[in-house]
Structure 1
Amino acid sequence: MDFTLSEEQQMLQDTVVRLARDSYSFEQREQFYRSELGFSRAFWQQLGDLGLCSVPIAEADGGYGGSGVDNLLIMTELGRNLCLEPFLHSQIYAAGLLQQLGNDQQRDALLPRVASGELQLAVALEEGQSHYQLHDVQTRAEAVDGGWQLSGHKVVVIGGYSAGLILVSARTAGSPLDEQGISLFLLDPASTGVSRRDYPCIDGPRACDLLLDNVFVAADGLLGEPGNALPALRYQQGRAIAGQCAEAVGGMEEAFRLTLDYLKTRKQFGAPIGKFQVLQHRMADMRGELELASSMAILAACIADEADSEERSRRLAAAKFIVVRAARFIAEQAIQLHGGIGMTWEYNLAHHAKRLVMLSHQLGDDDHHLQAYAELLKSA
């Protein structure tokens, strides 16, 4: 298979590389992290002005109509530079759900604003007990005159503290573990009854917990048919997983580069420690894991937009499992080869290591995806 980038894809990659290099040094990132917003509004606007926010969104909805490979090119560079902006959760995950479930009026009103970077979205699907199971939903939505009334508690909503709209899953029928009866709603976080508890995650991005106390959502805030949102949630999570794998590869590549540079410059017994054969072997192991993870990230990107099927789900589960294992291995080895400086807050490797480890706890950890892969293999 030919993995050579097209001319348009090469231009897209070059644009992201230049933007991140010029606007997102490690020192600038630290300033963004300590700001009230937690990321750079100016950088987000640059993503919009250059058309990068529109890449995951279909042309019919005011976007560029990019493929999974286009998303990979963007997410790899955002991961390489430890960017804090919630691009994955807003532009790929949430916008994908809006495209798949929204009616013409909803898409026309919202997606052009999302594509331009004017409107940031977030997804609130996780609950305290759900443990990566999208169908484990205890948040309830009751039909009332003119719309719906939502009550429940959502956790770890990445980017939810700054989002203009949050896509919230709630149960409109059935018991908490039923796969039927789950609906998706467009929630204005400024609505009466909404409480947000904001906090920084250990790896940099900010999130919030969402408490809903009899929150009214108008009838036009429902996405798709009542009770039938789960297939779309699972499909779009697959696209988000492909983007997350690409982000992890960008972080792994940078962690590998930093480690190699350190071994070339750090001296012991009058020679660079990179000349010691045992350390060369460890770097070779890291490189092997990185190449395997890169291949799986490319596979995930190539199949992310395919029609939903067990084969697609199986390959995405395999990709996430292998990438997560490689990310943890590279993070641990990079710290070991650096020594104490590898965990110094002022050195960017420590932040890459934290990010790589924490990626395994978003959208399903390695155990979750290994089990999913095994179950899909049995049904094949």
Structure 2
Amino acid sequence: MDLSFSEEQLLIKESVEKFIEKDYDFDTRNKLLETEERFSRSNWKSFAELGWLGVALPEEFGGFDGGPVETMLVMEAFGSGMVLEPYISSVVLSGSIINLGGSAEQKKALLPPLMEGDLLLATAFTEKEPAYAPATVSVKAEKQGDNYIINGDKVMVIDAPSADKLIVSARTAGEATDPSGLSLFLVDANAPGITLAGYNTMDGARAANITFANVQVSASDLIGEAGNGYETLSRAIELTTAALCAHAVGMMQSAYQATLDYVKTREQFGVPIGKFQVLQHRLVDMYMALEQARSMVYMVSIDVASNDALTRQKAVSGAKAYVGKCARLIAQDSVQIHGGVGMTEELNVGHYFRNLTLFCNALGSTDYHLKCYAELTK
């Protein structure tokens, strides 16, 4: 397995890291948290101009024609700065759905403005019960002539308050838990019948619970074939889970580095606390967890592009479970070594702790993916 990066990939990596270092420090991020949208539209346009919104999208529509590895490089750097802009929801998840399942007309209409920073997307696929099961969908879309009428509720739709369009999973056939019969629709976020209740999340993002009451969409807004949307959705979720793991590694790197710097300057009994062997052992454990997690991210970023479903699923669940374990260790030890100051709003370590804790439950908890991996390897 070749884990070296190409010249083009290194340029992407270096450009994102340089932006985070110079233009996205902790204080800048905190100022964005005080704004209504909790991110910067100006930054989003800059991402577009630098080509980051299209690194994994087709060249024929203006993208870089890369893949999960290029996404990984962007996401790891974004993780180090805890970037608030809706890259994961709009580009990685929603963009992947359009790219994987959209018609030629939909790709031509949606991908260019997405990559140019003029279109924001969000995907509504989670519901109240159960905690995480993308195939379990109670929202219904009933065919009426050339249209579909959507009714039901979605919860925890990340970045929905700022989205121009929503991608909605709805049932057109089958029982509530059947993977078959699930369809994906493109819906205008301001369409009549949509009620959106927005709220802030603990990691600094915005999300919403959405009610669809007799929302009418055209048959041309169907993404892919009716009843066959689950495969597209699951593939996009696999890509997004791999990207989230890379994002977590970026946060783990910064949390570890902040803790390492702290033990070199914080003194107790007249010496830096980094001189104490117990803390040295804990920092070694943190470093080992970080590097093991990074290796897992490299692996999943390669395997998630496989055409074999079992290979993809094993890689994604294995990575999410293991990176989640490492993330919890680094997040908790970072705060514990800092002491009480580690939980204050003024220090970045507490923010990394919250973000990494939420990562452990995003798109399936660590336990969920560990069970999935066990089932897949029987």
TM-score bucket of the superposed structures, by smaller chain: over 0.9
Q: Determine the structure 1 residue equivalent to 2:300.
A: 300
CA deviation after TM superposition for structure 1 residue 130, in Å: 3.1
Query: Any unmatched runs of 5+ in structure 2?
Result: none
Q: Does 1:41 align with 2:27?
A: no
- Please give the secondary structure, in 2, of the residue aligned with 1:10: helix
- Please give the secondary structure, in 2, of the residue aligned with 1:53: helix
Matched-pair contact (CA < 8 Å) for 2:305–2:312: no
- How far apart, in 2, do the equivalents of 1:294 and 1:206 lie? 28
Equivalent runs, 1:160-171 vs 2, <5 Å? 160-171=160-171
Amino acid corresponding to residue 81 of structure 2 in structure 1:
N
- How far apart, in 1, do the equivalents of 2:264 and 2:177 lie? 54
Q: Determine the structure 2 residue equivalent to 1:371.
A: 371
Equivalent runs, 1:1-380 vs 2, <5 Å? 1-378=1-378
- Please give the secondary structure, in 1, of the residue aligned with 2:160: coil
CA deviation after TM superposition for structure 1 residue 307, in Å: 1.2
- Please give the secondary structure, in 1, of the residue aligned with 2:227: coil
- Please give the secondary structure, in 1, of the residue aligned with 2:168: strand
Amino acid corresponding to residue 290 of structure 2 in structure 1:
L
- How far apart, in 2, do the equivalents of 1:324 and 1:176 lie? 29
Render the CA deviation track for 1:47-98: whole Å, top value 9, x for unaligned.
0011111112111232111121111110001100011111011111111111
- Please give the secondary structure, in 1, of the residue aligned with 2:377: helix
Render the CA deviation track for 1:196-232: whole Å, top value 9, x for unaligned.
1111101111111111111001111100110011111
Amino acid corresponding to residue 198 of structure 1 in structure 2:
G
Render the CA deviation track for 1:338-357: whole Å, top value 9, x for unaligned.
00010011111100110000
Q: Runs of 4 or more off by more than 4 Å in structure 1?
A: none
- How far apart, in 1, do the equivalents of 2:174 and 2:205 lie? 34
The CA RMSD measured in Å over matched residues stands at 0.9
- How far apart, in 2, do the equivalents of 1:190 and 1:77 lie? 33
- Please give the secondary structure, in 2, of the residue aligned with 1:17: helix
- How far apart, in 2, do the equivalents of 1:210 and 1:299 lie? 36
Amino acid corresponding to residue 125 of structure 1 in structure 2:
F
Matched-pair contact (CA < 8 Å) for 1:54–1:62: yes
Matched-pair contact (CA < 8 Å) for 1:137–1:177: yes
Render the CA deviation track for 1:293-352: whole Å, top value 9, x for unaligned.
000011111122221421221111000000011101100001110000100111111001
- How far apart, in 2, do the equivalents of 1:200 and 1:288 lie? 34
- How far apart, in 1, do the equivalents of 2:152 and 2:220 lie? 20
- How far apart, in 2, do the equivalents of 1:147 and 1:20 lie? 45
- Please give the secondary structure, in 1, of the residue aligned with 2:52: coil
Render the CA deviation track for 1:124-155: whole Å, top value 9, x for unaligned.
11000032211100000001133100011111
Render the CA deviation track for 1:228-252: whole Å, top value 9, x for unaligned.
1111111111110110000000000
Matched-pair contact (CA < 8 Å) for 1:57–1:91: no
Matched-pair contact (CA < 8 Å) for 2:153–2:209: yes
Q: How many residues align?
A: 378
Matched-pair contact (CA < 8 Å) for 2:57–2:67: no
- How far apart, in 2, do the equivalents of 1:308 and 1:235 lie? 11
CA deviation after TM superposition for structure 1 residue 117, in Å: 1.4
Render the CA deviation track for 1:245-294: whole Å, top value 9, x for unaligned.
00000000000000000000000011000000000001011111111100
